[in-house]
Chain A
Amino acid sequence: MPNYIFWPYESLFENSAAQGPQVALAISFEKTHFVVLGVCEPQYLEEVSIRPPYSVVATKNNGAEGWNYKVADPCNVHFRIPKLKFMQFYSSDPISLIIPEKEVGLHSSVGETLNYSKLEQHPRYKRDNKKLSETLNIINLFPAYCKALNELYPFIQTSQENLRGTMLNSVAAWCSSTCIYKMVAKIGFYLTFVICSIASLVSSLLNYSHFQLVNYSAFVQQIDLRCQQICYFPVQYERINKKDNIQNVGSMVEKDNSNSQFSHSYMPSKFYPDYILLYNTIWLIINDISFGLILGAILIENRDFLVSASHRVLKFFLYDSLKTITETLANNPLGIKLNAELANFLSELFLWVIEFSYTTFIKRLIDPKTLSSLLTLTIYMMFLVGFSFAVSLAIDFFAILSFPIYVFYRISSKLYHCQLNIMASLFNLFCGKKRNVLRNRIDHNYFQLDQLLLGTLLFIILVFLTPTVMAFYMSYTVLRMLTITIEIFSEAVIALINHFPLFALLLRLKDPKRLPGGISIELKTTVSNKHTTLELQNNPIKFKSMFRPYNLLLSQMRTNYFSFATVRKIVRGESIMVNRNKLYYVLYSSLPSKPLSVKDLYKRLTIQA
């Protein structure tokens, strides 16, 4: 295996041929490759000895073109120094925009990772990969290592990124030492604490384990989401402000710490996902509110039209059409001759429910006056807390209005399901068979004449009544599916507003190096060198992986509502109910599954302060 030497792209190493003989110094730990940090003239090294982890990897004679390597079988890898200030870094694994505790559930569904994980188990791959990732850690902290080397051997030329404080930094440092700042910080701290504890309390109330309100209402779910986000803000902020540890690298190298694993926990790149997630959330909230302002203004202008139109549409959909359908079902729909007695009975039952629900609450709710005041409330809510709240309120309103349809669906599905079950067991009796529970199979059985007669008569009756029940069941199922579809689409709008990876997307456009999706090493052919020269490149993260939670949500929705399994469920008369919270749980990828408790929050905040 060749010895890989990682060279930064620097003028320092390329153009200095005229200046005389040079020596290249590199750092390497036990489990890493060589990373060249700087050059110096050979006469300095006569006085000082270079101690590990630093070593001389190559020398260059006066006026010579290439380097003479001190290590056997060298192989160059060139890389661009990642700028710490701009949060660029190399990573062999794609950056995760999902917090680690949520990753487990998401990964398991991908089938193609099986082969990949098998490959990962291979010892050689494991060793090489580990070595490479440790080297990448050094490269990511390249300026810090350079600085450490420079402090140790001041004569060495290194590439210096300006880490030291600028004018602005010093002003900030002066500000933070004043007592006004301290007071403001104190007030800010307690304010944050109070807000967070209120949010945490609200969230835990809404998620009360005996009666989870979040499962029933989209509006409550939206409140819960906002509360959880507020609770998580301080934690995220605290994490991304742990930047001071970069300075520690020098002392670590001093200690001759061959165990470079230690440095890994201090990698600043570990907190970049948090940075992205925090600003993504903040941006989305601001977006939400600005959408609310725009749409609210539009809605206010067209208020009267909107009220009258929605009144007409709702009345048509929830009262007139429902009544027409139910009445049609009683009178031989589409020329299909149903059982007149049962059809009349069922249609009268449903008509009674329609009339009752209409007079008790629907009539009052879709009254133009109520609608107008409700719209006003919604618009004010849009202005204050955002568009998503208004949409979720509309969903809840629609869910209440479509409650009769839900009831019809449940009643008819129960009827249909019971009938199917009874018919299945009576069919066994019809064939002279009986289910053997002990052996879990169907056996022959000689029935008594009275059993046979009664069973067969009932079976025949049920068979003849099936078309009637099925007609009711199917028409109400179609209505129910329609309302579900409307709800799903509005909830999809909310999901887009709440969880769209906007910040990450723009970051990907602006600076792909901040969102690495792995690395690629390519052969460089242009340089005429006797040694192989490779180039280390950063692959930006794929758009597809940014939207993975959405993909998952879509596939879940498909299996829940629009799949063959659903059709089978409908045919069998089983109810198609989905836990709303569970469905949208996938999208909560940037939040911990349990909001931080008040005590933990206080602890964390006081440590930070």
Chain B
Amino acid sequence: MTRSPWKRLLWLKQEYPDNYTDPSFIELRARQKAESNQKSDRKLSEAARAQIRLDFISFYQTILNTSFIYITFTYIYYYGFDPIPPTIFLSFITLIISRTKVDPLLSSFMDVKSSLIITFAMLTLSPVLKSLSKTTASDSIWTLSFWLTLWYIFVISSTKSKDKPSNLSTNILVALVAVLSSRLSTTIDVFCFLLICIQLNIILPTYLSVTNKVVPIISNIIVYSFLNVALGWIYMLLIFFASVFYITVLPKWFIYWKINYHKRDNDLLSTWDARTPILD
């Protein structure tokens, strides 16, 4: 009599006793024991090192992208510039890029219908958003937006798939923008602010991969020149050196720590147990 192979699902009724131990589990255990014995000459492969460096850089990129929200906000709210020209310019760029890169996955993501819906919804709701938290004190709004930003960076940097932005991060971003938009004075400002933020943080990052060289340089230039204008060159240089330190030194330090000090106590659990619940 042949039994169907054992599956690692608790909710399934299987023809195995309760204390059944699968051979694959024992194999895994043996392999990990052998690995922990030869701890001294443990090494990371070149691919793993490159991946670590890439992760650090992409996190830096995320922070740069997020800071564009505040740059746009300051541009409209503090300096009181007209938001219409940059909006038109950015929309034009977005259109061109989306036309040149015809991706079956992305074409469903951004088609004419949804862009129309988004535009009209934002047009309709921007007066409501403008007056939504008018009575709330500015301090509360700054605090709220600070925590939302932290949450946004945490969520977007901890999601795995890079091809599609996660739903939650998009939502937090929209919430953040909606909270900030109540400080703006006119409806057009609100609408432009919403549109710029969504294009910069949601639509454009999906078209432009991290390995692209041109876009990071442009965004770096924009951010640091903005910092120079807003905070002065001393702060700009401080932040610049801090980020250079972050990109060059910290990954090496991390690799050193991973080779020499990283304990593998939880390896069994983290490899054997499923990361996300398997329901079907």
Contact partner of B121 (CB less than 8 A), chosen from A445, A448, A450, A459, is A450
B87 proximal to A (CB < 8 A): no
Give chain A nearest CB distance to B149 CB in angstroms.
15
**How many residues on the B side are at the interface (Cβ–Cβ under 8 A)?**
33
Question: How far does the alpha carbon of A464 sit from the alpha carbon of B132 in the complex, in Å?
Answer: 7
Q: Which residues of A contact B167 (CB under 8 A)?
A: 429, 431-432, 445-447, 452
Q: Contact at A461–B135, with CB atoms within 8 Å?
A: no
Q: Which residues of A contact B95 (CB under 8 A)?
A: none
Chain A residue with the shortest CB-CB distance to B203: A449
Interface window among A131-139, A231-239, A336-344: A336-344
Give chain A nearest CB distance to B204 CB in angstroms.
13
Q: Which residues of B contact A445 (CB under 8 A)?
A: 167
A297 proximal to B (CB < 8 A): no
Question: How far does the alpha carbon of A457 sit from the alpha carbon of B131 in the complex, in Å?
Answer: 14
Q: Contact at B117–A454, with CB atoms within 8 Å?
A: yes
Q: Which residues of A contact B131 (CB under 8 A)?
A: 339-341
B156 proximal to A (CB < 8 A): no
0/1 interface trace, chain A 460-477, chain B, CB 8 Å (1 if under): 110011000000000000
The A405-462 residues at the B interface (CB cut-off 8 A) are: 429-432, 443, 445-450, 452-461
Q: Which residues of B contact A429 (CB under 8 A)?
A: 167, 171
B interface: dominant SS:
helix
0/1 interface trace, chain B 191-212, chain A, CB 8 Å (1 if under): 0000000100011000000000
Give chain B nearest CB distance to A114 CB in angstroms.
37
Give chain A nearest CB distance to B126 CB in angstroms.
9
Chain B residue with the shortest CB-CB distance to A341: B131
Q: Contact at B175–A460, with CB atoms within 8 Å?
A: yes
Give chain A nearest CB distance to B138 CB in angstroms.
12
Q: Which residues of B contact A453 (CB under 8 A)?
A: 118, 121-122, 170, 174, 198
Q: Contact at B174–A460, with CB atoms within 8 Å?
A: yes
Q: Contact at A456–B132, with CB atoms within 8 Å?
A: no
Question: How far does the alpha carbon of A332 sit from the alpha carbon of B134 in the complex, in Å?
Answer: 13
Q: Which residues of B contact A447 (CB under 8 A)?
A: 167
Most B CB within 10 A of own CB, among A429, A448, A455, A461: A448
0/1 interface trace, chain A 329-364, chain B, CB 8 Å (1 if under): 000100001111100000000000000000000000
Q: Contact at A457–B178, with CB atoms within 8 Å?
A: yes
With A430-B168, A432-B166, A456-B171 already in contact, the answer to whether A450 and B132 are too (CB < 8 A) is no
Q: Contact at B109–A340, with CB atoms within 8 Å?
A: no
Give chain B nearest CB distance to A170 CB in angstroms.
89
Q: Which residues of B contact A449 (CB under 8 A)?
A: 109-110, 114, 118, 170, 202-203
Give chain B nearest CB distance to A467 CB in angstroms.
10
With A341-B131, A450-B114, A454-B117 already in contact, the answer to whether A460 and B178 are too (CB < 8 A) is yes
Binding site for B on A (CB under 8 A): 332, 337-341, 429-432, 443, 445-450, 452-461, 464-465
| Known A332-B135, A460-B179; 19 more pairs at CB < 8 Å | A337-B137, A339-B132, A339-B133, A339-B134, A429-B167, A430-B175, A432-B166, A449-B109, A450-B117, A452-B170, A453-B118, A453-B121, A456-B170, A457-B125, A458-B125, A460-B129, A460-B174, A461-B128, A461-B178
